[in-house]
Amino acid sequence: MKKTAVDTGTRITERSLFYWILRRHRSMQLFLLLIILVSLFFKVFPLEMQKRIINEAIYLKDIELLYLYCGLYIGAVTIAGLLKYAINVLQVYIGQKILMEMREELYQHVLQLPLQFYRKMQPGTVTSAMTAELNAIGFFLGGAIAIPVTSVLTFVVFIGFMFHLNPVLALLSMGIYPVELFVVPYLQKKYNRLNSRRVKTTRAMANVVNESISGIHEIHGNTSYSLEKKKLSSFIKQLYDLMKSLFVVKYGIKFANNFFQSLGPFVLFLVGGYLAINGQFTLGALVAFLSAYEKVYDPWKELIEYYQGYQDAQIRYRQIMGIFDLDPPHLLLPLNRDVLALKGDISLKNVTFTVPSGVRLLEDISLEIRANEQIALVGYSGSGKSTLALLIAQLYDVSQGTVSIDGHLVDDLCKMDMGRNVAMIAQQPFIFSGTISENLLYGVQAVSGGDGFPDRGRILAAIHDVGLQDDIIRFGLQAVLSPEECRPFRDKFLRMREIIQTSLRDEFEQAIEFYDVTKYLYYSSIRDNIVFGDSVKREFVVERLPGHPRFVKLLRELNLEKPLLTLGFAIATQTINLLSDFKDDEFFFRDNPMELDEFERYSELLKRLKGPVPKEDEARQLLLVLALRFIPKKHSIVNLPSAMEEKILVARRHFQATVVNVAMEHCMKQSDGMPCNKDPRCGEKSGFIPFCPSKYLYTHTLLDNILFGAVKSELTFDDHLRKLASQAFEDEELLDEVMHIGLDFEVGSKGDRLSGGQKQKLAIARAFLKDAPILIMDEATASLDNTSQARIQGLLEKEFKGRKTIIAVIHRLDLTPAYDRIVVLKAGRIVEQGTYDELMERKGDFYELSRSEF
């Protein structure tokens, strides 16, 4: 008999709701009960005090006694309130703790369910069950024991107190409860049925929305908005009808409760009043009785609400567990043995695989694969080659026959056995959100549990092997590093800058205008020319500068404000005139200080302005922003009057001396590779970092920092220069640091920030790093370009030959000659196998396939 996860205990989906409540956090729940019991005394005690205040203190006109009873009353009420607070907090704490465990265990179960389960299941159903629906149960869990116990005990204690005061009156006021015991459950059952339908409808609706969002491209492509709307509309209508009925019943229950609650005082006033008038009942006792009656209804109401909550939680719980009510087909960890270390001898005997609909995808497959043999699985599309690979990887289970590895039946192997020994690369691999590095180590981490991580050298080697190196370097170069992230590598990055500035200066000077404190920079903005640095606090970003009092003061002192306003005005006027027909096309704004979404604003501004030097602050600031963004050699929209260059250089010196207190001469002297960090003259303390060769610019990318200047034109900053720099950095072993930064690149949700090829390479590197003896590749290189494909193929031949058993599902037959054996499938059967030469000579199916491909 096949071993399943059931062997480890009761299947999670078969547990009752109270299984969780009664078996988890018992000591905490006992403690809660204890607090409840204590709190009962403090609930009843104030009632006794009420009676005594009226009957003794007021009646005897004893002030001392009044003070005593009132003091005791308020003391008891305060303690009761505090205890109630503690009970509530503890209740939520226990509930959430149980919910947390329930969710974790259920998720673990859900992840291990077979792939076939997910073929039928909508992701929306699983998501909603694991999140919102479980949350609703959590609210019930915490009070599952505490609420009924508290309510029943409170009820009993107050009833007792009422009997103690007057048995007849107590019996009369209890008379209404039995009636309620029939009415409320009747309504509740109705409510439960409606609620159950509500959950199902909501779930179906979530699936429709989920599917639409996943396929939004197709919807836009087909303009099928109304079609999709129609699909959802029927569910919306159903939900609307259900909610109407649900609330009619819900408020019906509420009405019944309120009505019965009001019936009690009526009886009390009538009978109690009569007895008091006739002197058979003291006034104090009547007041205490009324208070007790009011209080006795609270636990009763709580019990009814508890009952409703229980029914609701029970329905939700059963529905959630019902979805996942099947066994994971394999154990996660082995029983009574260690995880196996396999060699990779694979044997398939009379294997048949049938899908639930009855279609047979594989028929009577027998195949022996020796350890370290490299096998190519080929065949027409739909021949079953991928299915065969998935069966060997234990991702599907055979319908008949056996698959074994090193003599162990794959059916009997646990998940961890497979995880350690088999690495699988899918045609469309899944990349998880997180960093490149996290994705690379995903496979290793899963089977090693955090130990035995590959060292940095191996990680970099795997990246290099799959040809991902250049991409990682590019990611690294685009990273903006915080001082903490940069600290370990800063000296090396500054060394890279130095290489560009010295040995490669001649080549790079053609493409980069280096920062030079003595020169006007034509490829940098006027802002960069004046500020000549950056503040980590973003104090001097262009948009904030026109409102920066010291900056504006400086411009006015140096008579620079007016020329800048004139420049800004000219930019705005020219742009509005030239681009009024193109204000929706981003292309025309690429080389303009004005941004597309600012067009209307400036257009309005120009209509208001009478000249280039407006009086109001807002207009001045808008014009200054345009001027400060202006880059003379990039923005051809206007010209920079050459008289301004000298003024701007003067402004730069003044800005350094008066606004940020930086001594550039001092900073420049530190340019022998020693960072000028702690010296206040270098600006570090004020958070200002000047464009000084010894300073790392934390607001810029790593590439900006290495180039240390403005790129003159992307068109001239070509591959030749990149290669030149890469080689120079590699010679000094500096590139590893950039790759290290690149490994921290966030790939986005599902790896959306990566191209298809990058994702595939990442998945291949991920599998290589796992270093399992068996490697299964399901058209793993299909989406790569020819060079990358050849690179991976070369690696299989050179590095893995004689080291790993490889089963590769291959579409491109020109890759097959390198494999030890080619297995040809047709309509779910093996029709041929042999080496490339043998099969070509035989002129059978493989030969035909090759010809058709050609």
Partner 1 sequence: MNSVDQSSEKGCVSQLTDIQEFLSRFHIFSDAPSGVASLFAYLAKREEYVKGTLIMAEGERCDRIFLIVSGQVDIFQYYNERRFHLQLLSCDSINYFGELALLSEFNWFFSARAWTDVSLLSISREAFSKVMGKYPESYQSMVQKIINSRIHRFIDQSGYLLDHISPEAWREDPSEASG
Site residues, partner 1 (CB under 8 A): 510, 566-567, 570-571, 574, 578, 581-582, 585, 587-588, 591, 633, 636-643, 712-713, 715-716
Closest CA to 766 of 343, 438, 341, 469: 438
CB-nearer residue toward partner 1: 529 or 566: 566
CB of residue 653 vs partner 1: minimum separation in angstroms?
22
| Angle, CA of 465, 725 and 786, to the nearest 5° | 35
Return d(Cα 657, Cα 651) in angstroms, integer: 10
The enclosing H or E element of 353 equals: strand 346-354
Which of 182, 587 has the CB closer to partner 1? 587
Cross-strand pairs, 512: 711
Give the CA distances from residue 461 to residues 59, 157, 412, 727, 769, in Å, rounded to whole numbers and listed in that order: 95, 75, 35, 17, 9
Cβ nearer to partner 1, comparing 498 with 509? 509
Residue (49 or 644) nearer to partner 1, CB: 644
Residue 691's SS3 state is coil
Tell me the closest approach of the beta carbon of residue 820 to partner 1, in angstroms.
39
Which amino acid is located at 352 in the chain? T
Render 497-552 in DSSP notation, one character per residue. Answer: HHHHHTTTHHHHHTTEEE--TTS--TTS-HHHHHH-EEETT-TT-TTTGGG-HHHH
Provide the token pair at 835: 């080496």
Nearer to partner 1, 223 or 577 (CB): 577
Quote the least distance from Cβ 587 to partner 1, whole Å: 6
- Residue 105 to residue 489: CA distance in whole angstroms: 42
Residue number, 349 or 633, with CB nearest to partner 1? 633
Cα(312)–Cα(188) distance, rounded to whole angstroms? 10
Q: Which is nearer to partner 1, 510 or 658 (CB)?
A: 510
**15/4 Cα distance (integer angstroms):** 17
Q: Name the residue type at position 328.
A: P
Instruction: Output the smallest distance, CB 635 to partner 1, in A.
Output: 9
Helix (H) or strand (E) holding 620: helix 617-629
Contact present, 706 and 496 (Cβ < 8 Å) = yes
Which is closer to partner 1, CB of 292 or CB of 623? 623
Residue 567 or 659 having the CB closest to partner 1? 567
What are the structure tokens assigned to 651, written together? 């402004």
Cα 635 from chain centroid?
41
Q: How far is the CB of 512 from partner 1 (least distance, A)?
A: 12
Residue 359 or residue 643: which is nearer to partner 1 going by CB?
643
Nearer to partner 1, 689 or 707 (CB): 707
* Cβ distance to partner 1 smaller for residue 658 or 716: 716
Say if residues 249 and 187 touch (Cβ distance below 8 Å): yes
Least distance CB 586 / partner 1 (angstroms)? 11
Q: From CA 352, how far away is CA 828, in angstroms rounded? A: 9
Closest separation between CB of residue 606 and partner 1, Å?
Answer: 15
**Helix or strand holding residue 829 (H, E):** strand 829-834
Q: CB atoms < 10 A from the CB of 97, how many?
A: 16
Q: How far is the CB of 640 from partner 1 (least distance, A)?
A: 8
CB of 637 vs partner 1, minimal distance in Å: 6
CB 728, min distance to partner 1, A: 19
Q: How far is the CB of 509 from partner 1 (least distance, A)?
A: 9
Residue 573 phi/psi, 5° resolution?
A: -60, -50
Place of tokens 């003259």: 681
The DSSP secondary-structure symbol of 480 reads B
Q: Please report how close the Cβ of residue 584 comes to partner 1 at its closest, in angstroms.
A: 12
CB of 454 or CB of 632, closer to partner 1 = 632
Q: How far is the CB of 231 from partner 1 (least distance, A)?
A: 39
Shortest distance in whole angstroms from residue 638 CB to partner 1: 4
Decide the pairing of beta strands 829-834 and 512-514. Answer: unpaired
Q: Which residues of 705-733 are buried (b: 16+ CB within 10 A; e: fewer)?
A: bbbbbbbbeeeebeeebeeebbebbeeee
Nearest CA-CA partner of 603 in 624, 636, 632, 575: 575
Q: In this complex, which beta carbon is closest to partner 1, that of residue 135 or of residue 713?
A: 713
- Return the SS3 of 369: strand
CA 690, CA 631: separation in Å to the nearest integer? 19
Contact 124, 207 (CB under 8 A): yes
